[in-house]
Amino acid sequence: MWNVIIADDEPLIREGIRESVDWEALGMRVAAEAEDGEEALEKALACRADIALVDLNMPIMDGITLIGELRNQLPSCRIVIVTGHDEFAYAQQAIRHGVDEYLLKPANPKELTSVLTRIGEQLEKAREQEKHLEMASRQIRKNIPLLRERFCNEWIGESLTRQEVLEQLRFLELPDRAPSLFGIVRWPEAEGSAAAVVVRPERERQLMLFAIENIMDELLSPWPHARFRDPHGFLCAIVWDAADADPFGAIERAVSRYLKLFVVTHAEPVIGGVETVPAVYRKARGIIYRETAISPVVRRARMYMRDHHHDPDLSLESTARAVGVSPVYLSRLFRQELGTTFVSLLTQIRISRATRLLLTTNMSIAEIAEAVGYESQHYFSTAFKKAVGVSPIRYRKGDAVDDEGG
């Protein structure tokens, strides 16, 4: 039933309207009556009135003011003016407020019934449309993961303009700005690659991939993100607002701990707008291919270094002890597989972290130096300039951003 309120300061008029219409036949009921505009507004809001029959000449709050308040506070309410004012100025104001009908007293019962019938049909049609929209909205929400997957593959494939990317982000309930990280998780067994140590049935492989995706979703849940599989079968995630975090290292450790699977992960920071994401994806994918050839010992050692790079006392000895090998053996593996030394790799990790903090936070140079494991700002600035070519202050101002982007 549609709720109707009758607002008129004359009791006989209210009674006449109430008695002259077969409300039940129209699927309506008189839910409230009021003798002034203020009372009418209060009762209309209380009963969530669908239709208001309003007189213009009422005490305390006149009809035009009441209509304006209803438009603001109960915009779906349909309004019919029933008044003795046959003046063009009143009709103009009523039109501006979007009233549905303007009837003069005494209201003809047939005319009033006809108006209410038409409004009832409009309300019913609007309700049906709302139901269809809600059903469509539920269906879209249900398919959001699939829609995001398709969108992300089009995004990394450079099939969309910048404006289309921003529109799709808004539609898919993702931040309409550049993300902070692009991460990839590769499970070699899923591809049957040479790195796979076990050949599993397809059903089991898919179950394992699903389990990895669940771990990704759980560990990425603190940040807005879109997870999807790229055309190569890699598990990818585009992450917003996570510039200060390393969720993909945590994903790799969790998969190893809970699923006993060997996966390769890499997170590449996104420096630039949404249009840079395809290039970031290609860079991350290239690194992932190279990473797969690295031995588990070196991967564990490097992950330990990334997790503890903030410790000024981090050393080759402590890292080797953490992964269960000798310092000499670990040093040799670094040279053979990475073509670098422990000290050079640690410096690279610390400087890479520092560049991200310089560009994405307001931390002072001294705070960043401490955060990445340097005991003094001077030592950090010297190491940074040697590695990057400019001082941390100049880098933050953008002097080296273009070179970095190349």
Confidence (pLDDT) at 278:
97
Q: At what angle do helices 296-308 and 247-254 cross, to 10 degrees?
A: 140
Check: pTM over 0.85? Answer yes or no: no
Q: Which CATH superfamily is domain 143-293 in?
A: Reverse transcriptase/Diguanylate cyclase domain (3.30.70.270)
Phi and psi, residue 315, nearest 5°: -140, 170
| pLDDT at position 319 | 96
pLDDT at residue 321, rounded to an integer: 95
**pLDDT value of residue 346:** 96
Which segments in the chain show pLDDT lower than 50? 194-196, 401-406
What is the predicted pLDDT for the residue at 194? 47
Residue 310: enclosing H or E segment and its boundaries? none
Q: Please state, in angstroms and rounded to a whole number, the distance separating the CA atoms of residues 176 and 224.
A: 11
User: In angstroms, rounded to a whole number, what is the distance separating the alpha carbons of residues 85 and 105?
Assistant: 8
pLDDT recorded at residue 102:
85
pLDDT on residue 192: 55
| Top-level class of domain 298-406 | mainly alpha
- Report the pLDDT value the prediction gives residue 403, as an integer from 0 to 100: 42
The CATH number given to 2-140 is: 3.40.50.2300
Looking at residue 27, its pLDDT comes to 95
Residue 406's pLDDT is what? 35
Instruction: Concatenate the DSSP letters of all residues of 269-293 into one string.
Output: E--S-GGGHHHHHHHHHHHHHHHTT
Under 8 Å between Cβ of 260 and 234: no
Residue 398: per-residue pLDDT: 80
Q: What is the pLDDT of residue 125?
A: 93
Q: Which residues contact residue 310 at a Cβ distance below 8 angstroms, ignoring those fewer than 6 apart? A: 370, 371, 372, 373
The answer to whether the Cα torsion of 57, 69, 124, 34 is positive or negative is: negative
Q: Specify the residue for token string 């004012």.
A: 85
Which pLDDT score, from 0 to 100, does residue 89 have? 62
Token couple for 65 = 């003011």
Specify whether the CB–CB gap between 277 and 271 falls below 8 A: no
Per the structure block, which two tokens stand in for 85?
A: 């004012």
Q: Where are the domains of the chain?
A: 2-140, 143-293, 298-406
Q: Is 132 exposed, middle or buried (0-12, 13-18, 19+ CB in 10 A)?
A: exposed
